[in-house]
Amino acid sequence: MTSAPAHPPLELGAAPQPPGSMPPPVPVSPPASVLSPVPPNPAPRATTPLMRKEHREKIALFRYQVIRAAADHSLTTRQRGPLVRALAEVDHPWPFGGTRRYSRETLDRWIRAWQSRGFDGLKPDERASTPYTDSSVLALAESLKREKPNRTAAQVKRIIAEAMGTAPSETTLLRHFRSRDIPTGVRPVATGRFESDHPNEIWVGDALHGPKINGRKTYLFAFLDDHSRMVTAARWAWAEDAIRLGAVLRPAFETYGIPEVTYLDNGAAMVDKSLSRTCAKLGIRLVHSAPYRPQGRGKIERFFSTVTSQFLGEITVTDTPMLPGTDPAAGSQISTLKELNTLFTGWVNMAYHHQQHTTTGQTPLARWEAAWEHRTPVRKSLDQIREAFLWSDVRTVSKTGTVSLHSNTYEVDPLLAGTRVELVYDPFDLDGQVAVNNHHGHAAGQAKILKIGRHVHAKVANAARDNDASANIATGINYLDLVATRHRESRTAAPISFADIHQNTEQKTGAIR
C-alpha cells in the first residue's frame, strides 16, 4: 500500500485572506493507517521477566529473518547494496500481527549489529533505569582515566563511588571514553593452542553452507570432538533451523554419549531456546563464542576446509541420477539430498576418520578409541534423551481453561484460567502428551486434547521431506563412490536417519499433506 501524502504546506507568497472572510478549512490529517503503509500494530505489553525475554527474542528473530540474505559475510558492499534497497521497498510480516517497512539506514544498522554481536545484537535494548548521567561525573571519570591510562572502567567506577557515593555503570564509562577517543582496550595476549584432555569434554559445532540441489541450498550441521577430532554428528539438510539441529544431535547423544560442553557460534539455530533446554536437561554446558573471537573454533573450521576440498570438490550436482558408465572425471554426481548424505556419511566414516591428523599424529578414530581404555562415556537413557528434546512454549490460559498451541486446542486445569503456563511437548507428536507447568514452574498436570488441527509441528513436516524418496545412487569408478561402497559393505546396521527420531513421523506428516 502506498502512503498517502500529508496535506501540502501553505505556499510562500500566497495572497492573504480578505477581512471578514471565512478562514480556510483546516486540513484534517488522515488516520495513521493511511499515512503508514501498515496499520500500527504494537507488540503486546510484556509485564513479567519471562514475557520480556520472550518478547525481545521474538523481535530479534524477526529482524534476523529480514536481514539474513543481506547479512552474509561473503557479500561485498557493492553486492549488499541492492539487496538492502530491495528489502527497504517491501513490507515484512510483523510477528505480533500486520506488516512493517524499514528504511535502508535501519536495515544497515541491524546488519552491523548482527555481524558484530550476533543474535544478541538484534535484541532491542531494555529500558534504562537511569537514562541520564551528570556531565560533571563524566568529566571526573575522564580526568581519572587520563591521569592514569592503565585504570580500567571498573577501577574508575570504584573511585567515583568512593568519592561521591554513587557512580555510572562500567558500560556508560566505556561508552564515554570511546566517544572521547580515550583508549580502553588491553594489549592482546597469545592464547596458544588449546586441546581438551579427554573425549566428550568439548564438542565444537557449526553449520556450513553447501551446494544447491535442484535450486535449493543445502546446509551441513557438524559437531567435532575437540580431543580426538572425531566427527560425532553430521548431516546435510535443506534449512538451518532447530529441527534439523535436533535431528543431528539426538542420535549423536545416543551413540557417543553426553559431552560436558558444546561450543557453538551465534547462528539462529544455535541460540534457539529448544537447544538451551536440551543442554540444561542433559547437564551439558552450552557456550557461544563471542563475535569475531575465533579462539577454540579452529578445529571445526579446519574440518569444514577439509570437507570443501576433499568432499565437495569431488561431487557434481546434476538434475538426474548418475548412470553406470558415466565419465569418472566428472566426479560423483548427485541429484538429491539423500545422495549427498549417503556419500558424505561414507566419506566421513571410511576416509576422514582414518586419515592421520597432522597435529595429533593419530587418526581421529584411533585417538577416540585409545582415550576410552580407562574411561567410559557419560550416557543417558533413551527416555531421558527423548524428554530433553521436547519443546516448550508459554501460553495464556483462557477463561474457559483452554490454550492454543500450533493450531491445536488443549484443555488444562480450570484453576489456571487467566495465568501464564508453560507447555512441554514433542514437536513430532502434537496429539501426544503435553505437560503443563504453572507460572512458578511447578508441574500442573497434563493438557487434554480438544481440537486437533496439526499432528506435528510445521517445521517437522518440512524437515521430514528432507528424506526424499529417491533411487539409490549408481556407483561409477571414482573416489567418493568407492568410499561410499566400502562404507555400505562395512555397515553392521542401517544408518540413523531422520525418521529414527520418531517412528510415526512419516505417518503423521502424511496425514497433514
pLDDT (tens digit per residue) in 368-397: 999 998 889 999 999 999 999 999 999 999
Domain regions of the chain by residue span:
49-122, 136-179
The average pLDDT across 1-17 equals 42
Beta strands in 419-505 (DSSP E): 420-425, 435-437, 443-446, 448-451
Cell triple for residue 447? 493438557
What stretch of H or E contains 261? strand 261-264
Higher pLDDT residue, 496 or 65? 65
Q: Model confidence over 134-192: pLDDT tens digits?
A: 888 888 889 988 888 888 888 888 888 888 888 888 888 888 888 888 887 644 444 44
pLDDT digits (tens, 9 = 90+) for 475-504: 233 444 544 555 554 444 333 443 443 444
pLDDT at res. 45: 57
Cell 510445521 maps to which residue? 458
Q: What confidence score (pLDDT) does residue 14 get?
A: 41
Give the C-alpha distances (Å, rounded to integers) separating 205 from 202, 287, 350. 10, 11, 21
Among 126-135, 138-147, 503-512, which stretch is predicted with the lowest mean pLDDT?
Answer: 503-512
Q: pLDDT-derived band of residue 466, with 50, 70 and 90 as boundaries?
A: low
At residue 456 the predicted structure's pLDDT band, cuts being 50, 70 and 90, is confident
What does DSSP say about strands 408-411 and 402-405: parallel, antiparallel, or unpaired?
antiparallel
Q: Note the pTM of the prediction, 2 decimals.
A: 0.55
Please provide the average confidence, as pLDDT, over all residues in the chain.
78
Using the predicted structure, report yes or no on whether residue 27 has a pLDDT greater than 90.
no
Contacts of 243 (CB under 8 A, 6+ apart): 427, 457, 459, 460, 462, 463
Q: How far is it, in rounded angstroms, from Cα 222 to Cα 235? A: 7
